[in-house]
């Protein structure tokens, strides 16, 4: 029993340390644990993909659609959309949300807490969409499964919500790292697309999670170089104008993808059955002639880099796969888009490379170079994530000499798409009417710390009416606040400064001592002093949650509720508007790494 009690005290101390903005060692521990969890999950997911592929795919390869008979590969998407439609049809619209967009939404509006049902839906849809020949990748499932599992660990341990945000980023990076052996790209994607901020406190745990997860995947599968690309060089600077032109073209294709994907609201009035059938027919019909549009398509991307695909196949992948992916998303089938857009971008870049060789036969670089640049440009343009796209280019191809032309290509494509569509990225385009909460500097700062870091703990609870002796007893610990609990449950408690009660007792000391009838009881709602109406907030909440709650003009402060059983909840502290304002006004003027210790 004593050992259990000590472990509970240790966990409670761990939670209090995590509430502070500078809890870097504790967050690094969580990063390591979430990396191990996510790495194991990704190994299981990849194993299930391989297991499913052994049932009907040639050589058990989940991407060998080209080796299937035409009728077989055309029938697969119809079966896949039927299975997905049956699963989604019994769910509410909110329960159908999965993938990267769902991760960002939960992080933005739910402090990184994930519903369990959506997590299981991601397993089903992720496996069926890839094995069923839809134009889908495994990046979305990897990110959702990793982020939700890491966050679930924090929820199970009842950690402060500011640490849940970091855990979501850790799971995101670890999922990408374990799936594709791209640990740096995973870190950059997590910070640039999901967290949308760069801090030392956020970076270090995420790097650890990505590293550990990648190591676990390598222990199981060995080191897998994604694409075997020989050492290439751009050659003549005469290619730079053509690189800009190709990036413009890819930016236009990316803009078309985003505009088509935005049709989801217009197509929503059709039933889910009709939308699923439409996707199955379109994919099946295209796959009859061009199976390269199916699945993740990384085998197709490898052939593109090797210049082994005919022009008509490149065109089918560059345009057809891009359009089919957008139509699938617009019809409400939540597939991962990152893999397909990489493959389509590579094919589009290769087409520009082939055309450049015709226009500049003596100076044009290899189509392989344009394919690599096109892959990064398409990803950067659609996601509006240039750094993540450049890291993907580096880690997928292992060609660091492509970074300079890659930077030019990615920037031009991103600008083109942004100017044509006004999109701030595929995963954020649904929120274009208002600023994304994570992009607001104040909310970012307040989300990094939980309420225990700034709340006032020196308080006592009291009934409305007390005797003078009880009033003096309340003041023995010199409380800053008195929390006045009222008889009716529907009336919120009030907060009164302890100094107000002390002043009243001093002013009425004589009549109290003489036993005057009117001073036998003290009504804490009648003595002079400002009383603040209170509302509850959980001990795990961040200052951003407290800030939003205090926008209610009728509230003067929040009381922090501690405990996990309804009848055993206790008040741990009081947090006022002034406490929140003092925190962010003070931290605005000092570097994060030198923030003062704000112990619990």
What is the C-alpha to C-alpha distance for residues 67 and 65, in angstroms, rounded to an integer? 5
Render pLDDT for 167-209 as a digit per residue (tens, 0 to 9): 999 999 999 999 888 899 999 999 988 887 777 777 899 999 9
Distance CA 320, CA 283 (A): 9
Q: Cβ-count burial of 444 within 10 angstroms (0-12 exposed, 13-18 middle, 19+ buried)? A: middle
| Interval 462-493: pLDDT, tens | 888 888 888 888 888 889 888 888 766 667 88
CA distance 257 to 41: 31
pLDDT level of residue 506 (50, 70, 90 thresholds): confident
Kindly report the pTM of this predicted structure: 0.85
pLDDT of residue 118: 94
Q: What is the dihedral of CA 13, 15, 19, 21, to 10 degrees?
A: 80
**Are 13-221 and 450-594 in the same CATH fold?**
no
| Alpha-carbon dihedral angle through residues 11, 17, 20, 22, given to the nearest 10 degrees | -130
286 with 278: CB under 8 angstroms? Answer: no
Which pLDDT score, from 0 to 100, does residue 544 have? 84
Segment 316-356, tens digit of pLDDT: 999 999 999 999 999 999 999 999 999 999 999 999 999 99
Alpha helices in 422-524 (DSSP H): 441-447, 468-474, 498-507, 509-513
Beta strand pairing call for 557-562 and 570-576: antiparallel
Position 437 scores a pLDDT of 56
Predicted pLDDT of residue 3? 53
Is the predicted pLDDT of residue 564 greater than 50, yes or no?
Answer: yes
Instruction: Provide the CATH number for the domain formed by 239-439 in this structure.
Output: 1.10.3080.10
The CATH number for 450-594, chosen from 3.30.160, 1.10.1060, 3.10.580, 2.30.40, is: 3.10.580
| Distance in angstroms (rounded) separating the CA atoms of residues 114 and 573 | 27
Q: How many Å apart are CA 339 and CA 317, to the nearest integer?
A: 12
Alpha helix positions (H), 181-263: 183-189, 200-221, 239-261
* Mean pLDDT, range 349-364, rounded to an integer: 87
Q: What is the pLDDT of residue 596?
A: 37
Highest mean pLDDT: which range of 73-87, 413-427, 476-490: 73-87
Residue scoring higher pLDDT (468 or 376):
376
Class of domain 13-221: mainly alpha
User: In the chain, what percentage of residues exceed pLDDT 70?
Assistant: 89
CA separation for the pair 241, 408 (Å, rounded): 10
pLDDT in tens, 36-68: 999 999 999 999 999 999 999 998 889 999 999
> Taking the domains of the chain in order of start, what are their residue ranges?
13-221, 239-439, 450-594
Please state, rounded to an integer, the average pLDDT across all residues of the chain.
Answer: 86
Helices 116-131 and 24-53: angle between axes, nearest 10 degrees:
40
Which of helix, strand or coil describes residue 124? Answer: helix
Query: What is the β-pairing status of strands 481-485 and 459-463?
Result: parallel
What are the tens digits of pLDDT across the range 94-110?
A: 899 999 999 998 988 88
Residue 127's pLDDT band, with cuts at 50, 70 and 90, is very high
What kind and span of H or E run contains 524? Answer: none
Inform me whether the pLDDT recorded for 439 exceeds 60: no
- φ/ψ of residue 146, rounded to 5: -70, -45
User: What average pLDDT score do residues 228-252 get?
Assistant: 84
- The first and second tokens of residue 333, run together, are 């089938």
At residue 15, the pLDDT reads 81
């Amino acid at each position: 029993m004593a050992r259990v009690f000590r472990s509970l005290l240790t966990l409670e101390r761990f939670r209090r340390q995590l509430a502070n903005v500078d809890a870097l060692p504790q967050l690094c521990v969580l990063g390591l644990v979430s990396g191990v969890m996510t790495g194991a999950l990704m190994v299981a997911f990849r194993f299930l993909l391989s297991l499913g592929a052994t049932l009907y795919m040639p050589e058990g390869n989940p991407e060998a659609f080209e080796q299937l008979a035409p009728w077989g590969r055309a029938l697969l998407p119809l079966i896949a959309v039927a299975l997905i439609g049956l699963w989604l049809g019994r769910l509410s619209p909110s329960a159908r949300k999965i993938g990267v967009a769902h991760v960002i939404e939960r992080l933005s509006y739910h402090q990184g807490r994930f519903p369990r049902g959506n997590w299981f839906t991601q397993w089903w849809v992720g496996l069926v969409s890839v094995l069923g020949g839809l134009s889908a990748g495994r990046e979305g499932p990897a990110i959702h499964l990793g982020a939700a599992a890491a966050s679930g660990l924090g929820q199970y341990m009842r950690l402060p919500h500011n640490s849940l945000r970091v855990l979501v980023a850790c799971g995101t990076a670890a999922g990408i790292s374990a799936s594709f052996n791209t640990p740096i790209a995973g870190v950059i994607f997590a910070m640039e697309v999901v967290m949308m901020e760069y801090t030392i406190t956020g970076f270090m745990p995420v790097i650890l999670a990505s590293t550990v997860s990648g190591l676990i995947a390598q222990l199981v599968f060995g080191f897998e170089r994604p694409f075997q690309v020989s050492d290439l060089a751009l050659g003549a600077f005469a290619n730079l104008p053509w690189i800009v032109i190709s990036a413009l073209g890819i930016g236009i294709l990316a803009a078309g993808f985003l505009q088509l994907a935005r049709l989801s609201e217009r197509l929503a009035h059709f039933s889910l059955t009709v939308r699923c059938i439409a996707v199955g027919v379109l994919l099946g019909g295209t796959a009859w002639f061009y199976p390269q549009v199916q699945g993740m398509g990384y085998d197709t991307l490898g052939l593109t880099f090797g210049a082994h695909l005919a022009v008509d196949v490149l065109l089918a992948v560059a345009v057809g796969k891009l359009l089919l992916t957008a139509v699938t998303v617009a019809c409400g089938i939540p597939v991962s888009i990152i893999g397909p857009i990489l493959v389509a971008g590579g094919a589009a870049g290769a087409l520009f490379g082939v055309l450049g060789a015709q226009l500049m036969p003596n100076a044009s670089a290899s189509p392989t170079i344009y394919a690599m640049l096109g892959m990064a440009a398409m990803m950067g343009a659609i996601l509006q994530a240039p750094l993540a796209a450049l890291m993907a280019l580096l880690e997928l191809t292992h060609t660091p000499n492509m970074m300079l032309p890659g930077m030019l290509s990615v920037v031009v494509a991103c600008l083109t798409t942004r100017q044509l569509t006004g999109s701030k990225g595929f995963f954020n385009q649904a929120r274009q009417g208002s600023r994304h909460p994570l992009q607001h500097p104040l909310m970012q700062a307040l989300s990094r710390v939980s309420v225990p870091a700034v709340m006032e703990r020196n308080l006592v609870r009291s009934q409305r009416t007390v005797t003078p002796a009880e009033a003096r007893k309340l003041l023995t610990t010199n409380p800053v606040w008195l929390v006045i609990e009222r008889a009716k449950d529907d009336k919120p408690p009030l907060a009164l400064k302890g100094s107000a009660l002390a002043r009243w007792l001093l002013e009425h000391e004589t009549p109290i001592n003489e036993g005057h009838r009117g001073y036998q009881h003290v009504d804490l709602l009648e003595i002079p002093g400002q009383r603040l109406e209170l509302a509850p907030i959980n001990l795990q909440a961040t200052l951003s949650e407290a800030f939003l709650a205090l926008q209610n003009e009728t509230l003067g402060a929040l009381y922090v509720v501690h405990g996990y059983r309804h009848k055993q909840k206790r008040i741990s502290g009081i947090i006022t508007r002034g406490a929140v304002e003092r925190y962010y006004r003070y931290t605005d003027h000092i570097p994060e790494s030198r923030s003062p210790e704000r112990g619990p």
